[in-house]
Each structure stands twice: as C-alpha cells, then as structure tokens.
C-alpha cells in the first residue's frame, strides 16, 4: 500500500493460520486513544488525511464492493457517521492506480497521485520474485493531480517522465513535498502550491519518501532506505532499474524544509515508516515492526525528534499504520487490521488523542 506515508502495496504480511477471531477495537494498553470509532468495514483502506477544517478525510481504498480493483481516492465527511452501508464520494474517477491524497487549503480540492496518464486500467503488480524479496513498484506513470470534491480534475500539478507521487501539504498552506525519481534516484522535492519553484532537498543514494511537514511548516519527517554496503548498494540500484524498491529496512529522518540539518531519528532496524508529527512538533508517531518476532506485526510508536523516549502506542496483533493528527491535535486517524472478522481487510479508525 502506497505510503506518503510509502510507496505502493502493503508493508505487511499475514499469518496464514487464524485461531480465535479478535473483535477488539480498543486494547486496554492504548492509553493515548479514547472513543475509538471504526469508519470502514471491508477492503483495504489507508492513508486517511484530514481536511484543514477537520470535518472531512481523503483516503485511498481497494475494495471490490466499490468497484475499485486497485487503490482509488475517496472523500468522506464525519457528519455521515461511517462507511459500512454507503460508499463515500469517489475523487479519482476510477482511473489508473492512485495514492497519497491530501486536502489543499480551503478544503475545496484534493491533490493525489495517479497512473491515469499511462492507462485507465490498474497497472500490473510485480510478480512474485524467485529470490523471495518483498518489493514495492515505482510506477513511472505516476503524476500529481488536483481535483475538486466532485472528482473533476482541475489541474495537473506535477508531471513529467518518471515517478512523481507521495505528495503532502504544509499546514501553513504554502508548500508541497513529494518524491520523484527525476534525478535518477528517489529523492524529496518541494514546490509551491501551483507546482512551481520545484526544489530538490535530499541527495543521498536511497529511497526517500512519505514526507510530512511539522505543524509550523519548518521541518520535514520522512522514511528512508539508504544502502551503505557494496552489496546493498548494488541491490538497490538493480531493483530501481526494474522500477522497484525493497521497503523491509527503513529508518526515519528529519530535516529543515530546505533539506538542511538532516538528522536520523530512529536506529531500530527492520521497517520504520509512515511517520507523522505530534501536534507539539517535538515528537513523531510512526509504524514499525522492529519489536516483532515474526516480522509482520506492525504497531504505532511515538518517539522524540532527537531519537529518545520511544513509546508504544497501539497493540494490535497484526497491523497498525498511517497515523495522522487532526489540525487541532484532538483526533488521530489510522489504519488497522483489528476487528476485521479474521479477514485480511484493513480499515480506518478514528480516536480522541490523549497526551
């Protein structure tokens, strides 16, 4: 599953053996969460991000019941309760594969990335590799579009040959950050709200992606897989030539919005990804499997931006990821495998946040 929070596909695996179906929505250890509410009830739902006025979310979903064989972008208002019985507003018109939607200032339009320029159909997913490597595809047809709340495209914001995706918007409403391979590597770029003034801000070899702004717009947090050994460098370059990246070893970094003062935050090993700033700007929520014995259990953690004070936030037994705070800091939305009836469905949950 793409995360602006990453790239494509789900950064998770599933246990093939299910014993007792867990119907828990709120685990007692989750002291920072209250009044958890399930918003979706089937399919794969992820990367839900709040509107500036905190009344709506934009998210991506793959759901046969919604005629979405691959990720499409939807918009939903909280006044409507949940999406168990009614399909939310489709934004991406069912064209191509999409990822990483985000409200633009004013809450009348949404940006998202789509492969629609290459084909109306879903692009093929990578075949299972003989070497067993888990990979994400980097589709070269991904460009970044802006649509109104009825789903009509009103602008092509970022385009060109190669991958342009994973865009998010500053809370100040003045800048966008996105990932592109236009340099020959997967780097972070910023631009103005109209797509102009594109500036590269990361430069080291490796995949840099899923970036988000701090609440005051001065910093960025992102995930990165930066190979260092000759073997890892060769593997990374070889996969990138195939339009693939391996997301099984990622750490979190912060930097100023111009790329200066780049600092590695986590040194946990395994996959640390889908970061988002705490409302204070001094902490980061993220998803990680670093404490998993089997590798596929992902939970939410919180850490200070200096790398201290690691704290576990969620306790689901399979998968929690894509946390985002509302702009007023009162609510947290995230994706989880909890209460999915023993299926592989990933649903959206919203909760009151308690510091």
Average pLDDT rounded to a whole number, residues 53-74: 97
Q: How high is the pLDDT of residue 321?
A: 98
Cβ atoms of residues 168 and 276 within 8 Å: no
pLDDT at 71 over 90: yes
Q: How many residues does the chain have?
A: 355
Q: How high is the pLDDT of residue 144?
A: 98
- d(Cα 334, Cα 302) in Å, to the nearest integer? 14
Which residues neighbour 11 within 8 Å (Cβ) at sequence distance 6 or greater? Answer: 1, 3, 136, 247, 271, 273, 287, 298, 321
Region for 184 from its dihedrals, namely left if φ exceeds 0, alpha if ψ lies in -120 to 50, beta otherwise: left
Does residue 165 or residue 292 have the better pLDDT? 165
Which residues neighbour 126 within 8 Å (Cβ) at sequence distance 6 or greater? Answer: 135, 137, 244
- d(Cα 337, Cα 25) in Å, to the nearest integer? 10
Q: How high is the pLDDT of residue 3?
A: 60
pLDDT at 158 over 80: yes
pLDDT at 311 over 90: yes
pLDDT at 343 over 50: yes
Average pLDDT rounded to a whole number, residues 296-321: 96
Q: How high is the pLDDT of residue 8?
A: 43
Question: For residue 251, what pLDDT band results from cuts at 50, 70 and 90?
Answer: very high
Q: How high is the pLDDT of residue 296?
A: 82
Q: What is the percent of the chain with per-residue pLDDT over 70, rounded to a whole number?
A: 95
pLDDT at 1 over 70: no
Average pLDDT rounded to a whole number, residues 173-194: 98
Question: For residue 125, what pLDDT band results from cuts at 50, 70 and 90?
Answer: very high
pTM: 0.94
Average pLDDT rounded to a whole number, residues 30-34: 98
pLDDT at 9 over 80: no
Q: Phi and psi dihedrals of 47, rounded to 5?
A: 50, 60
Average pLDDT rounded to a whole number, residues 236-265: 97
Domains along the chain with CATH numbers? 33-353 (2.120.10.30)
H/E element holding 57? Answer: strand 56-63
pLDDT at 7 over 70: no
Query: Residue 192 has which token pair?
Result: 């103005």
Q: How high is the pLDDT of residue 5?
A: 53
Q: By CB neighbour count within 10 A (0-12 exposed, 13-18 middle, 19+ buried), where does 302 fall?
A: middle
Cα–Cα distances in angstroms (integers) from residue 31 to residues 18, 352, 355, in the given order: 27, 11, 9
Query: Residue 81 has which token pair?
Result: 């309760």
| Cα Rg of the chain, angstroms | 18
Q: What is the percent of the chain with per-residue pLDDT over 90, rounded to a whole number?
A: 88
pLDDT at 16 over 60: no
Question: For residue 132, what pLDDT band results from cuts at 50, 70 and 90?
Answer: confident
Average pLDDT rounded to a whole number, residues 127-143: 93
pLDDT tens column, 263-275: 999 999 999 999 9
Average pLDDT, the chain: 94
Q: How high is the pLDDT of residue 275?
A: 98
Question: For residue 293, what pLDDT band results from cuts at 50, 70 and 90?
Answer: confident
Q: Which residue has the tokens 């507003």?
A: 89
């Amino acid at each position: 599953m793409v995360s602006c929070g990453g790239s494509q596909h789900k950064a998770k695996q599933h246990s093939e053996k299910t014993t007792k179906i867990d119907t828990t929505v709120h685990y007692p250890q989750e002291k920072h969460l209250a009044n958890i509410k399930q918003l979706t009830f089937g399919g794969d739902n992820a990367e839900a991000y709040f509107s500036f006025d905190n009344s709506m979310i934009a998210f991506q979903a793959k759901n046969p019941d919604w005629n979405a064989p691959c990720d499409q972008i939807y918009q939903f208002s909280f006044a409507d309760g949940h999406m168990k019985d009614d399909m939310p507003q489709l934004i991406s018109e069912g064209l191509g594969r999409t990822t990483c939607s985000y409200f633009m200032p004013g809450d009348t339009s949404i940006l998202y990335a789509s492969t629609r320029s290459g084909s109306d159909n879903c692009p093929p997913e990578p075949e299972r590799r003989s070497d067993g490597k888990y990979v994400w595809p980097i589709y070269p047809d991904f460009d970044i579009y802006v649509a109104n709340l009825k789903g009509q495209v009103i602008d092509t914001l970022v385009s060109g040959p190669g991958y342009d995706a994973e865009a998010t918007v500053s809370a100040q409403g003045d800048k966008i950050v996105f990932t592109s391979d236009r340099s020959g590597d997967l780097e972070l770029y910023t631009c103005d709200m109209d797509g102009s003034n594109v500036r590269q801000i990361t430069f080291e070899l490796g995949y840099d992606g899923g970036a988000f702004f701090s609440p005051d717009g001065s910093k960025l947090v992102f995930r990165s897989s930066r190979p260092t050994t000759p073997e890892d460098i060769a593997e990374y370059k070889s996969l990138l030539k195939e339009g693939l990246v391996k997301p099984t070893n990622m750490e979190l970094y912060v930097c100023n919005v111009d790329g200066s003062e780049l600092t590695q935050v986590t040194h946990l090993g395994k996959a640390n990804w889908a970061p988002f700033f705490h409302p204070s700007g001094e902490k980061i929520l993220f998803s990680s499997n670093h404490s998993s014995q089997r590798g596929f259990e992902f939970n939410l953690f919180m850490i200070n931006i200096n790398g201290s004070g690691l704290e576990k936030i969620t306790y689901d037994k399979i998968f929690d990821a894509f946390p985002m705070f509302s702009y007023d800091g009162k609510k947290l939305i995230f994706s989880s495998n909890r209460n999915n009836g023993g299926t592989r469905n990933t649903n959206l949950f919203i909760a009151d946040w308690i510091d």
